[in-house]
């Protein structure tokens, strides 16, 4: 299956549930008026776009309708695709401009964080990059073993310590190894929950201090992995993590298993955090770099 078709297939549930309803609604109108936009806004909110973003989309559509002199309600479909694409565009590319560059991967347990790291490592090694994985989730049972399996699958090295070790120490070791072995990218796993009294955000702050001290001039990405099936809860997580530790991008997993794909808009437009990758399946190559135009095209594609 081709690159675009994977995204199209992955967004099928969202397209059927949300866009299908929007198209049915547009067909029921004979003219473009305030009532149409009210119904559209309501459907967008129901599709997990969020109230502020739904309002903004409708305002943009009203401007375009007026500017282009559009009378046919069915033309709204095309304008909606254009508007969504414009809103999502910007900041999708990973910044890996230094050697080494470092990617800190953050997220609560259960969102597919370790799997995402493995797929990301595979994606980067296929581009010819030398990748080192840092097993910084030392608190969750089997997290280190799970990451080892992914390191083997994606043909990259892993730096680890025993379960219960200091995560910041693991990151330090990985940075030292990357410098010695001239690695291109370090991808760091982190705990989604700590079993002791020390808050998760404090641990992330400690890791960030190690990175800033050891690699002050390196390109740094802080990617938050979110489960698309949780809808607005994913937006809340993004908000909390962003305030606490600063996030450069989002990886949205399990898009193929949900009708809540509209959450992409809520995160990008509502929080100003770009989506960098989306997960649209279980296979190792099902983590796709995010492309705003392809996403909008797949979301609004006619089945």
| CATH code for the domain in which residue 107 is found | 3.40.50.300
Shared domain for 180 and 268, answered yes or no, is: yes
What's the per-residue H, E or C state across 138-176?
Answer: CCCCCHHHHHHHHHHHCCCEEECCCCCCCHHHHHHHHHH
Question: 68 is in which domain, residue-wise?
Answer: 3-88
* Strand boundaries in 66-210, DSSP class E: 101-106, 131-134, 157-159, 185-188
Report, in angstroms and rounded to the nearest whole number, the Rg of the chain calculated over CA atoms.
21
Residue 275 parent element (H or E): strand 275-279
Q: How big is the CA angle at 244 (ends 242 and 245), to the nearest 5 degrees?
A: 70
Give the residue ranges of the annotated binding site. 107-114, 189-193, 253-256
Give the residue ranges of the annotated binding site for GTP. 107-114, 189-193, 253-256
Shared domain for 164 and 280, answered yes or no, is: yes
Indicate the number of domains in the chain: 2
**303 residues of the chain, pLDDT tens digit each:** 566 788 888 888 889 888 999 999 999 999 999 999 999 999 999 888 989 999 999 999 999 999 999 999 999 999 999 999 999 999 999 999 999 999 999 998 888 899 999 999 999 999 999 999 999 999 887 899 999 999 999 999 999 999 999 999 999 999 999 999 999 999 999 988 755 556 788 888 899 999 999 999 999 999 999 998 888 888 888 888 888 788 999 999 988 888 888 889 989 988 899 999 998 888 888 888 999 999 999 888 876
Shared domain for 140 and 22, answered yes or no, is: no
Q: Cα–Cα distance between 46 and 41 in angstroms, integer? A: 9
Shared domain for 244 and 157, answered yes or no, is: yes
Shared domain for 234 and 282, answered yes or no, is: yes
Final residue in a domain of this structure, among 61, 88, 115 = 88
Shared domain for 126 and 190, answered yes or no, is: yes
Shared domain for 67 and 110, answered yes or no, is: no
Q: Pick from 255, 267, 258: which is nearest to 116 by CA?
A: 255
CATH number at residue 39: 1.20.120.140
Shared domain for 49 and 185, answered yes or no, is: no
């Amino acid at each position: 299956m081709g690159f675009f078709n994977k995204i199209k297939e992955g967004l099928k549930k969202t397209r059927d549930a949300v866009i299908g309803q929007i198209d049915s609604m547009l067909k029921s109108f004979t003219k473009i008026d305030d009532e149409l936009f009210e119904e559209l806004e309501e459907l967008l909110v129901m599709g997990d776009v969020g109230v502020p973003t739904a309002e903004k989309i409708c305002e943009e559509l009203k401007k375009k309708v007026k500017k282009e002199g559009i009378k046919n309600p069915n033309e709204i479909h095309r304008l909606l695709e254009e508007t969504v694409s414009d809103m999502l565009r910007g900041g999708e590319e990973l910044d890996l401009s230094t050697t080494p560059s470092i990617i800190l991967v953050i997220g609560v347990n259960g969102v597919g964080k370790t799997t995402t790291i493995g797929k990301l490592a595979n994606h980067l090694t296929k581009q010819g990059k030398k990748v080192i994985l840092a097993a910084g989730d030392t608190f969750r049972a089997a997290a280190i073993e799970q990451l080892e399996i992914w390191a083997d699958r994606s043909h990259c090295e892993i730096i680890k310590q025993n379960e219960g070790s200091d995560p910041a120490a693991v990151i330090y070791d990985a940075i030292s190894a990357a410098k010695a072995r001239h690695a291109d990218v370090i991808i760091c796993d982190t705990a989604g929950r700590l079993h002791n009294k020390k808050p998760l955000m404090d641990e992330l702050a400690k890791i960030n201090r190690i990175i800033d001290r050891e690699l002050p001039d390196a390109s740094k990405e802080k990617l938050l992995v979110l489960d698309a099936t949780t809808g607005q809860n994913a937006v809340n997580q993004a908000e909390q993590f962003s305030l606490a530790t600063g996030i450069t991008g989002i990886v949205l997993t399990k898009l193929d298993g949900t009708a809540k794909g509209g959450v992409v808009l809520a995160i990008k437009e509502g929080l100003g955090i770009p989506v960098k990758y989306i997960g649209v399946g279980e296979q190792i190559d099902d983590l796709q770099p995010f492309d705003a135009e392809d996403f909008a095209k797949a979301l609004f594609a006619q089945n």
